[in-house]
Amino acid sequence: RRVMDEKHAGRLVGSITSFDAHVGLGTVDLDDGRRVPFHCAEIVDGTRHIEVGTRVSCDVRSKFQRPEAFGLVSL
């Protein structure tokens, strides 16, 4: 599903399902059924940390020839 509010219009929505703060890698399960990885540098608020279970909006792009979430914003 895509967010329809003005601030996050057209962005995908999902939940953080894993995050390893030591290595900075995690996964987000999108509401459309895809599971995509992300790097902590893609967390928009600059904290480089996010809790498992957090609902987020994001975009997905191909990086190193695989899908990756970017621009993660907590909802």
Give tens-digit pLDDT for 22-73.
999 999 999 999 999 999 999 999 999 999 999 999 999 998 899 999 999 9
Q: What is the number of alpha carbons within 13 Å of residue 6 lying toward its C-beta?
A: 0
> What tokens appear for 3 in the block?
């967010």
In whole angstroms, give the CA distance from residue 27 to residue 36. Answer: 5
Q: For the whole prediction, is pTM greater than 0.75? A: yes
pLDDT of 8 reads: 54
Residue type, 10: G
